Each structure stands twice: as structure tokens, then as C-alpha cells.
Amino acid sequence: MYQIIGPFTQLLPLTGHANKGAIKDEDLLVLNHAGILIKDSKIIAIGDFDKLLKSSKNLIVKVTELTGEQIGMPAMVDCHTHICFGGSRAKDYALRNGGKTYLEIAKSGGGIWDTVQQTRKQSLADLTKGILKRVNRHLANGITTIEVKSGYGLSVAEELKMLRAIQAANEQSVADLIPTCLAAHIFPKDYGRSIEAYLLEMSSDLFPILKQENLANRIDAFIEEEAFSNQIISPYLAKAKAMGFDITIHADQFHPSGSEVAVKYKAVSADHLEASTAHEIALLAKSDVMPVALPGASIGIGCPFTPARKLLDAGTGLAIASDWNPGSAPMGHLLTQAAILGTFEKLSTAEVLAGITFRAAAALNLSDRGQLKANAVADIIAFPTNDYREILYQQGQLGPNMVWKNGLSIIK
């Protein structure tokens, strides 16, 4: 079935830009009185609304005619979340605001290990329900593709429970959930053997089941003082790479080093990067690894933002994700976080919008979304305003009033 949506007061297709490098606002394509021609779930063409109507007069077309002022753009992509979890870490948040550091809280029994214990108590059904609740909030905010990590199980059985919950939620939601196995999140405190034995068990026993059940094609690892060193994680990542998994890395959050691992193993993305120095930025610029800024973690912990401006000026790409999790980034509102990052890092509107659409899709190895172009999935959002600059100017207070997933209206 054919469908035409429009006219949009302004339409931002976000096409014509590379995945790497700075983007000036004057290079942003803005179409006036525009429409989108869709067949089934894919975009066929974009252009002047009246001309699209005229050119498709011989087709059986459903016309979704918009009223009032509407700004259209690709639906957002959140390429880094931890929305499969149990419990709350409000206590951690209060302790951080009272002066304790993230690492101090973790060493005293809080942090990720606290969430692991609470998540293990949840049934698969409970975890699935929690994921769907958070996914539905993301959908209402215009995010239709959402990466979701495991990593609060930290045993073969518990990691499988999380990934099966993510799979079940994906089957029940109109959103696309992209699962990532983060069994190398931290070393579990109740594991009776060495850290090397733990990683070997995960790669030997868990990885084959991920392939067999199609639970995840992405392997993540947290490279940090409280987690895994460059040297210890290498055999684990080498095994993942040999088995055909995509690699992504929690890198340079508190100390630099993870970026080197991401570059060495040709990771799809290196996420966090708050502690990246000129050395790490230069390494990333020479690679095809997509840097992912997580401003929600900076806001939640009170630490510096990812050096986004320096990364872009060095020639890297930049995706922006929410890092929605119960500990360091509980807000989970991607648009607000991206707008704030843009203010502090002096990012152009075009760079911020690219970071939450097609560059975020690239961080997931997806090339069929994040832009409004022929053959892309028809994931579209509209904001009730007459100037696209209002979207970031209002810092998340202006949300989309219409969302289409695969050409189907979710909110109107």
C-alpha cells in the first residue's frame, strides 16, 4: 500500500552528510511544504507535497494530510541503553550528591553489583514487562530503534534470562530492540574462580547459545578499573570477533584506555569517552569506530561531558545516546540530554540531530534508518512548531506529537 504524509512545514531528511566529521548548520537540507511517499514500510521518495500527490495520482494512495505547523525528521535512535534491569539505585544517587564518588560507591557494595542482585531476583516475565514500560516511553518521545544491553546477570543462566527478556520485549513491541551481550560488565563478586576463568566461561558457554538462539550479535565490555583491563579482556574479545560478533566497548569513562581496545578490535563503537585525551581522540579519528557520547551519565554522576567538539573537529563521527540505566543515568530522556550536550560542547544543531539519528544508527551497524531517503524504513517523527531550531532550543520540553514506525502511526 502507498501512503503520502504531509505537508510538513519543514522536513529535515538529514541526507547528504558523512558519518564522520563536523557538520555546519548551513549544510543542513531543509525542505518546505514537503511530503513523504511510502510503500508498505519503506520510503519511496520525499519532495514537494503537491508534486508527490500529482505524480502518484495513478496509484492507490492513502493520504495522511497534516494540519497546522509540523516539522518532520527521521525518528530517533538510542544506540546505548541498559533498560533491562530490576530495582532502583536512588540510594547511589543520593550518595553521589552527598560527595561519594561512583567508584567509592561501587567498592562499598553499591553500583552495578547492587543492580545485579536486584535483577537476578526478577523473573523473565517481570524483566520483559519492565523493558516494555521503558520502551513505550521512548516511543512516545520519538525513539523507534533502541539498543538494550544485558550485563546485570553476570552468569550464563542470568545473562540468558536477560537476553531472552529483551527478545520477548522486541517481539511484543513495535519498536526495534537491538540486543547487546554485556556479560563483561563487571567481575561478579560471587564468582568462585579467577576473572580469567569467568571470561573464558562466558565466551565458551554463553557465546554459542547467543548464536544458536539468535539472542544477540553484539558483544560489549566495560574497560575500567572496577571492571576489566585491556590485557584481561583481549582473549574474550578475540573469541567474540572470531565467532562473527560485532564489538562495542564501554571506553574511557573514568580513565583512558578503552579506546585503544575498541580500535584494536575494530569495534563498531566506543561509548562514554569522558576521560579521552588527545591520544585517544587521534586514535579514534584514524579508525572507523563511532564515538558515542552519553551525556546522561555525565549529568547523573556529575562528571565532565564527552569531548564531543574535539572529536568532531579531529574528524571522528559522533553518536549521542541516553545510557538509560538505574544507576549513573536514570533520566533516560535522550532529546534533553542531547540538547544539553550541544550547549556545553558547542555542537551545531545539525551535529546533534545527526548524533541521535543516522550516526546513532551507524553505531548499531544499521544503514536503513536515521535518514529520510529512498529504501529507508519509514520511521518518522513530527514536532508541532514552524522552525526546526525550536526542537533543541526547548531542551526536551517540545516533544513529537506524531510518530510513525514502518509507516504506521503510533501517536497522533
C-alpha cell at 304: 565532565
Q: What pLDDT is stored for residue 102 in this prediction? A: 80
Residue-wise DSSP of 108-154 = TT-HHHHHHHHHHTS-HHHHHHHHHHHHHHHHHTTEEEEEEE--S--
The CATH-assigned architecture of domain 77-362 is: Alpha-Beta Barrel (3.20)
pLDDT at 128: 98
For residues 13 and 28, what is the distance between their CA atoms, to the nearest angstrom?
Answer: 9
Q: What grid cell was written down for 291?
A: 564515538
Q: One digit per residue, pLDDT tens: the chain, 412 residues?
A: 899 999 999 999 999 999 999 999 999 999 999 999 999 999 999 999 999 999 988 888 899 999 999 999 999 999 999 999 999 999 999 999 999 888 888 888 889 999 999 999 999 999 999 999 999 999 999 999 999 999 999 999 999 999 999 999 999 999 999 999 999 999 999 999 999 999 999 999 999 999 999 999 999 999 998 899 999 999 999 999 999 999 999 999 999 989 999 999 999 999 999 999 999 999 999 999 999 999 999 999 999 999 999 999 999 999 999 999 999 999 999 999 999 999 999 999 999 999 999 999 999 999 999 999 999 999 999 999 999 999 999 999 999 999 999 999 997 5
Whether domain 2-74+370-411 has CATH 2.30.40.10: the reply is: yes
Domain with CATH 2.30.40.10 in the chain: 2-74+370-411
Residues of the chain with CATH 3.20.20.140: 77-362
Please give the pLDDT value at position 76.
Answer: 98
pLDDT at 412: 56
Closest CA to 154 of 88, 227, 94, 218: 227
Cβ within 8 Å of residue 329, ≥6 positions away: 294, 296, 297, 299, 300, 322, 323
pLDDT at 70: 98
Task: Check the CA dihedral 110-115-116-120 and report its sign.
Answer: positive
Q: How many whole angstroms from its chain centre is CA 80?
A: 3
Q: What is the pLDDT of residue 106?
A: 82
pTM of the model: 0.97
